[in-house]
């Protein structure tokens, strides 16, 4: 028996994908144009705030415009250098959302300053400059991720290490003397005068762990057990992972009083389990466990009962968060009251949990829908990446990152509009907060790394030269 083995050479693109052809250069040019347009739209909104309030352009406009444009260009150059085949639409959409978030936070700063002057109080420290600083930190880590992680499949080798790190980050706020309780939830740690929410980083670590674990065990988890109502139910012995994720999410809810993160972690795991196994029965198990856990939490924990009661009765005698946000959204109508023409600062935590209410009041349903479309574009591009990438780990990782963003947005908007109970999550890229902003910039970097691998063409194989003769192996 004779077998021949070709030892050819690769030509054109190197396997590492460090170069790019004309098509990729056009793609990056398109990305650059979209980035400039995104910065221009955000800064036009920034200028409109001051024109409507003061009748003149702000002196800080060049500083904010230059800073945001510089950070966006740094991210663009990093993609061009380290991931030239990555999707060209995701980064401009993120830049626009981040820029609009800066505008809304700055507008709330002005409203709080005016209220303080009217009441004779001292003007509070503005949040927008610090948010721009956190944006710079986020972009720096974005570049670092693209630089260090040249192949997303390297993360699969560290599945259990990354999962352990994620669990440790989740537990950090429970450490006495390190964790801090803010607004009833124990989510923060205070160290050296700084506050940080480690759960945001834990979210990314657990998504990587879920993807790495499920890509290895998906064959066993896909085996069918008994059939019920047209569904092939999984075997009882395979229920361990979903039960463990359920217990862990309940632990987050019980000990940290964080309803939003609990829902996010469990929801992402169930979706990835379904995608990995293609068994709809896992969704059935997930829904049953979710509603069972929700009912248990409602009957046992007062803070969950308060959230549900506020959801069912959002208009108490004294104004609360939900009622003020609903009044603001109603006042905004279709086209909004206009920037600086509403009263979004009346909503508690307007720059964090309720920034969607600020957006809806002053830009109306039209502006709110436009921003939601931007999020939908990012999620759609992420899911398209999951379809295109060739390896199973990359598919699950891109799906997990995209679903996490979509689910977080649904929970936030649903809570603000009283569709579901309020959970306390922040709106990605819009809300004030360094932890959330940094984590979401890292999320985008990971998504673009997978996108680069998905869109990179396979290197062509050149004909073998005289020095690379066909080797004949006789068995």
Segment (H or E) for 74: helix 61-82
Closest CA to 156 of 201, 200, 210: 210
Low-confidence stretches of the chain (pLDDT beneath 50): 1-19, 468-475
Alpha-carbon torsion angle 303, 309, 311, 314, nearest 10: -120
CB 444 within 8 A of CB 413: no
Burial-class residue 98 by CB neighbours within 10 Å (0-12, 13-18, 19+): buried
Tokens 């009041």 -> residue = 361
Q: The whole model's pTM is what?
A: 0.88
109 φ, ψ (degrees, to nearest 5): -60, -45
Both tokens of 47, joined, read: 């200028």
CB 222 within 8 A of CB 278: yes
pLDDT value of residue 2: 38
Burial 275-287, CB ≥16 within 10 A → b, else e: bbbebebbebbbe
pLDDT value of residue 320: 65
Residues 6+ apart with CB under 8 A from 76: 28, 31, 32, 35, 91
Alpha-carbon distance of 463 to 461, in angstroms, equals 7
pLDDT digits (tens, 9 = 90+) for 2-32: 343 333 333 334 434 444 567 777 878 889 9
Closest CA to 326 of 233, 457, 418, 425: 418
Alpha-carbon distance of 409 to 359, in angstroms, equals 14
pLDDT value of residue 242: 64
Both tokens of 58, joined, read: 């702000």
Round the average pLDDT of the chain to a whole number and report it: 83
pLDDT digits (tens, 9 = 90+) for 286-311: 888 888 877 887 887 777 788 888 88
pLDDT value of residue 34: 95
pLDDT value of residue 226: 59
Closest CA to 281 of 214, 216, 236, 217: 236
pLDDT value of residue 241: 65
pLDDT value of residue 258: 65
């Amino acid at each position: 028996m004779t077998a021949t083995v070709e030892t050819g050479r690769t030509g054109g693109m190197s396997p590492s994908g460090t170069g790019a052809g004309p098509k990729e250069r056009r793609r990056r040019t398109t990305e650059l144009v979209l980035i400039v347009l995104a910065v221009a739209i955000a800064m036009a909104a920034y200028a409109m705030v001051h024109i409507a309030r003061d009748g003149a352009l702000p002196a800080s406009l060049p500083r904010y415009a230059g800073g945001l444009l510089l950070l966006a260009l740094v991210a663009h150059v990093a993609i061009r250098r380290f991931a030239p085949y990555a999707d060209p639409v995701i980064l401009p959409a993120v830049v626009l959302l981040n820029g609009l978030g800066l505008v809304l936070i700055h507008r709330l700063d002005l409203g709080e300053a005016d209220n303080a002057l009217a009441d004779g109080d001292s003007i509070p420290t503005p949040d927008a400059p610090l948010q721009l600083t956190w944006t710079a930190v986020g972009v720096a880590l974005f570049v670092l991720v693209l630089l260090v992680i040249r192949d997303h499949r390297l993360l699969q080798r560290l599945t259990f290490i990354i999962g352990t790190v994620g669990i440790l980050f989740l537990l950090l706020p429970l450490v006495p003397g390190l964790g801090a309780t803010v607004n009833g939830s124990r989510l923060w740690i205070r160290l050296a005068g700084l506050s940080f929410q480690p759960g945001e980083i834990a979210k990314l670590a657990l998504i990587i762990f879920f993807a790495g674990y499920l890509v290895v065990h998906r064959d066993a988890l896909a085996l069918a057990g008994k059939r019920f109502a047209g569904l092939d139910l999984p075997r009882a012995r395979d229920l361990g992972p979903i039960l463990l994720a359920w217990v862990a999410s309940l632990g987050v809810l019980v000990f940290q009083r964080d309803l939003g993160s609990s829902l996010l972690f469990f929801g992402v795991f169930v979706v990835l389990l379904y995608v990995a196994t293609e068994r709809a029965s896992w969704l059935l198990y997930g829904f049953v466990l979710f509603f069972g856990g929700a009912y248990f939490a409602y009957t046992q924990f007062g803070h969950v009962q308060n959230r549900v009661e506020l959801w069912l009765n959002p208009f108490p005698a004294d104004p609360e968060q939900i009622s003020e946000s609903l009044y603001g959204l109603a006042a905004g109508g279709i086209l909004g009251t206009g920037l600086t023409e509403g009263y979004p600062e009346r909503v508690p935590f307007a720059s964090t949990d309720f920034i969607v209410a600020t957006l809806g009041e002053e830009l109306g349903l039209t502006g709110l829908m436009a921003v939601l479309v931007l999020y939908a574009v990012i999620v759609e591009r992420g899911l398209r990446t999951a379809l295109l990438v060739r390896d199973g780990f990359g598919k699950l990782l891109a799906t997990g990152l995209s679903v996490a963003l979509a689910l977080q947005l649904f929970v936030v908007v649903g809570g603000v509009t009283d569709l579901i109970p309020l959970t306390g999550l922040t709106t990605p890229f819009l809300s004030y907060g360094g932890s959330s902003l940094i984590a979401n910039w890292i999320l985008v970097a990971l998504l673009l790394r997978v996108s680069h691998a998905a869109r990179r063409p396979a290197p062509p194989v050149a004909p073998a030269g005289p020095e690379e003769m066909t080797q004949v192996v006789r068995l």
